[in-house]
Structure 1
Amino acid sequence: MSRFFFDDRKQLVNDAIEGLVISAPHGNLVRLDIDPAIRIVARADWDKSRVAVISGGGSGHEPAHAGFVGKGMLTAAVCGDVFASPSVDAVLNAIVAVTGDRGCLLIVKNYTGDRLNFGLAAEKAKRYGLKVEMVIVADDIALPDNKQPRGIAGTALVHKIAGYAAEHGKSLSEVRDIAQQACDNVRSLGLAMESCNLPGSDGDEERIQRGKVELGLGIHGEPGATVVDTHNSKALIETLVKPLQAEIGNDRVAVLINNLGGVSALEMALLTKELAHSSLKDQIAWLIGPAPLVSSLDMKGFSLSVLRLNDEFEKALCADVQTVGWQKPVPFAPMKTQPYSAVFDGLAFSPSDNPQVKALVSAATQTLIGLENRLNALDARVGDGDTGSTFAEGAREIARLLENNALPLNNTAQLLQLVGERLATVMGGSSGVLMSIFFTAAGQAVQDGSALPEALLLGIKKMKQYGGAELGDRTLIDALQPALESLRDKGLAAAVDAAKTGAASTASMQKAGAGRSSYVNSENLEGISDPGAVAIAEVFAALVK
């Protein structure tokens, strides 16, 4: 089955062009309505008063080439089918449509189909009295002995530099010369761990073995020059940087970090970090990307393009454009940091004694420790089997502090807040955070003057606010809320009964509205009480003994 979204394979490129044109942020693109098989995207604001700059080639390399059409870059792009050169007629129509007396420059990647079709179209255009020049981008250094290096992501840099010259009124020969100079000074190298999936293909082929990458594979999925036996980001960046440095020497450079289409933004940022710490770091003046500029559908790979800089190139690269795909260069510098004192979240307190409170804390903690296996067994039937261990771990910590006389037993606000602080640290998962919210909010309310029952109800209100559970959602709240309401209104004995009733009610609830049990079907929940609610009921029962 294809791993590609499309409606009609035959209309795929036409449909994509329509989507590009209608979503262009500057509203400055048009498709020339000539023939469905002739796909030309052009500047809507073009007046033929300057040299036209045209590029193109197979689709599947987006945003190249139509994504670079706009003020300051390309005048028009000619789009072929996926990974197929546009026809001679398509290129010829583009030339005639946008070229005035100043002439036209064609920028062509070094693939046989592109060279032939653009070249013949250029010769035919001369019959119309048009001046046409062509430069060929051959920036790929993957095969150093190859007399015909491929044109890959460095082509976008040539587009930018030539477009700048044309926008500033340079003559055709001047635009051609600076474009050729850019071609002569740009080098690229890429790698991938997965090739691309073609529209309509079954997507099952895995030519590149897991754990390896191909170095120098083509942007149409052609096999790479060599295989590298690692996915380590630092090692792979150095694998690309070393041969690029050998080509460009010690000159200042701009580096284009190109996503071949299938690499996550997180990984591209990480690779940029590795580049910033690589042996090339002292030569980098500008970063362009990380972003897809000349992609290969969904290929899981990336490439680096380095351009030797001069004053004219820097002006050209940094000039504003109105395109969909170009990325504004960023001056390269180490990551900025700012000293900042960490927030100290520890609670300041003084241990104190209160025999009555000590007895209550001891009863609660020993009950939860003793319930560990029972609660785990309950949770194994409705969750992930660790509720008992989670509550016991928190209880053991509070019991340890109690035994060491390290609790502020005579200061209710501090005691509640300290319990909240420790539970957040030692209890695992969401239960620890929820109980910490409960005790922390209750402690703050006591400190602000609330009576203990009201403070505890405020704590449960905050627990519900942040946790998302309500009464009837088959959680510990079904026992804790009625118990606390009864504690406020009728006293501890009533709270014990309310907690027991609330815990029992969870066994008849057919659907859990929160927590791990919410992913369990109703048949597996029937007749089983929520382990958190059981824990609450047992603690309240222990407090009156």
Structure 2
Amino acid sequence: MLSAVACRDIFISPSMKLITAVVAAVPSDQGIILLITNYTDDRLHFGLAAERSLTDHFSKKTTILALIDDVAIDRSSSKKVGRRELPGNLLTMVFFLFQRRHRPDLTVFRLLGATAVRNHSYERYQEISKALNEQLDLLVSTLDRCHVSGRQNHEQTPANVGAQQITPFPPMKDMIDRLLQLLCDQNDRELAFIKLSKNDDVVLSISNLGELSSLDTGAQIGDRMVINMLTPFADTLFTERNLQVAIRVAESAAEDAKDLKSSFGRASYVELKEGDEQSISDPGAWELKEILVGIAEAVTSA
């Protein structure tokens, strides 16, 4: 059962003080399980916080479970520190608190949450947590990454860039087949971390982390952003198959954006006097409109 989460900025481990404060907010008379990412700073900070939780009597028992799901680093290379943690933590990375009484106001979180709801013992809860962790395999691939232009073939895509875009495997044409081989090959002594058989039930989790910025995915027409111009342009180009017609629609939409009050994105944070929006064109919409006009002129004159 999800009880609390200790968070910091992206790729920054929460401090021991912060973690201890979070644990103190959800004390347990039976035990606490801390599910953490398998990185050095997390192991250190959560380890210290776990010791403090026992000293300060926030819990009778505290268990740390470092999540490991990366199959790109073989056994020989990871035998001392264990495998990395990748987006598989989205299935399990939270604080779980075993309580005697079920609290309906707390969200049941998949398998481990269901275990808490059924009032299993703390020891049984540990067993299920460990079993779930050991049955996770994950490999990251990407269509592109930061690199010098022209150094990678556009027909190729790398695998195993890691959460921080660590140097990937060589590019592979048949990406899906290769990924499945890396994840499921039972004959690979170095990478076969989980045992699979034909009768097993397998859960496939596909993450779109990094695909789109969360700052933009919620934008809608009317928010006075580039999307006010881009969406009508794309829709018109798709239906009319005429670039010039789509450009005229884009120009009209960009002009109309001046009459909108910013309600989304960075522009919404700018303090303007009432009425100022009507005299200022949206910079992003104007810039993109000029780019599209330039493309149209180049295509026409070619």
Normalising by structure 1, we get a TM-score of 0.32
Judged with a 3 Å threshold, the aligned counterparts in structure 2 of structure 1 residues 220 and 167 are, in CA distance, closer, same or farther, namely farther
Partner of 2:207: 258
Please identify which structure carries the higher helix content.
1
Judged with a 3 Å threshold, the aligned counterparts in structure 2 of structure 1 residues 99 and 243 are, in CA distance, closer, same or farther, namely same
Partner of 2:179: 240
Residue 146 in 1 paired to residue 77 in 2? Answer: yes
Q: Tell me if the contact between 1:86 and 1:114 (Cα under 8 Å) persists in the aligned partners.
A: yes
Quote how far apart the aligned CAs of 1:138 are. 0.9
Supply the distance in 1 between the matched residues of 2:139 and 2:129 (Cα, whole angstroms): 20
Q: Tell me if the contact between 1:111 and 1:150 (Cα under 8 Å) persists in the aligned partners.
A: yes
- 1:219-275 Cα offsets, whole Å, 9 max, x none, are 122222x12144xxxx21111111211233323311111112216xxxxxxxxxxxx
Judged with a 3 Å threshold, the aligned counterparts in structure 2 of structure 1 residues 241 and 89 are, in CA distance, closer, same or farther, namely same
Q: Pick the aligned partner of 2:65 from 120, 135, 138.
A: 135
Partner of 2:127: 177
Supply the distance in 2 between the matched residues of 1:88 and 1:157 (Cα, whole angstroms): 24
Quote how far apart the aligned CAs of 1:85 are. 0.7
Supply the distance in 1 between the matched residues of 2:201 and 2:28 (Cα, whole angstroms): 37
Supply the distance in 1 between the matched residues of 2:23 and 2:91 (Cα, whole angstroms): 21
Alignment of 1:493-508 (within 5 A): none
Residue 209 in 1 paired to residue 143 in 2? Answer: no
| Structure 1 segments (4+ residues) deviating >6 Å | 204-208
Bigger Cα Rg: 1
Q: Pick the aligned partner of 2:171 from 228, 235, 250.
A: 228
Quote how far apart the aligned CAs of 1:78 are. 0.9
Supply the distance in 2 between the matched residues of 1:161 and 1:208 (Cα, whole angstroms): 44
Matched residue type, 1:240? L
Q: Pick the aligned partner of 1:126 from 30, 34, 54.
A: 54
Supply the distance in 2 between the matched residues of 1:111 and 1:138 (Cα, whole angstroms): 10
Quote how far apart the aligned CAs of 1:142 are. 0.6
Residue 191 in 1 paired to residue 180 in 2? Answer: no
Judged with a 3 Å threshold, the aligned counterparts in structure 2 of structure 1 residues 262 and 207 are, in CA distance, closer, same or farther, namely farther
Judged with a 3 Å threshold, the aligned counterparts in structure 2 of structure 1 residues 157 and 97 are, in CA distance, closer, same or farther, namely same
Quote how far apart the aligned CAs of 1:208 are. 7.5
- More contact order relative to length (CA 8 Å, sep ≥ 6): 2
Judged with a 3 Å threshold, the aligned counterparts in structure 2 of structure 1 residues 179 and 430 are, in CA distance, closer, same or farther, namely closer
Supply the distance in 2 between the matched residues of 1:222 and 1:206 (Cα, whole angstroms): 18
Quote how far apart the aligned CAs of 1:125 are. 0.8
Alignment of 1:395-434 (within 5 A): none
Matched residue type, 1:238? D
Query: Tell me, which stretches of 5 or more residues in structure 2 are unaligned?
Result: 94-109, 186-191, 215-239, 243-248, 250-291, 294-302
Q: Tell me if the contact between 1:157 and 1:182 (Cα under 8 Å) persists in the aligned partners.
A: no
Supply the distance in 2 between the matched residues of 1:87 and 1:167 (Cα, whole angstroms): 30
- 1:157 partner SS: helix
Q: How many residues align?
A: 188
- 2:44 partner SS: helix
Supply the distance in 2 between the matched residues of 1:77 and 1:207 (Cα, whole angstroms): 42
Query: Cα RMSD between the aligned structures?
Result: 3.0
Partner of 2:92: 158
Q: Tell me if the contact between 1:89 and 1:121 (Cα under 8 Å) persists in the aligned partners.
A: yes
Normalising by structure 2, we get a TM-score of 0.55
- 1:154-186 Cα offsets, whole Å, 9 max, x none, are 223335322221233223222221010101111
- 2:137 partner SS: strand
Please identify which structure carries the higher strand content.
1
- 1:173-229 Cα offsets, whole Å, 9 max, x none, are 222210101011111111113347xxxxxxx877973523332121122222x1214
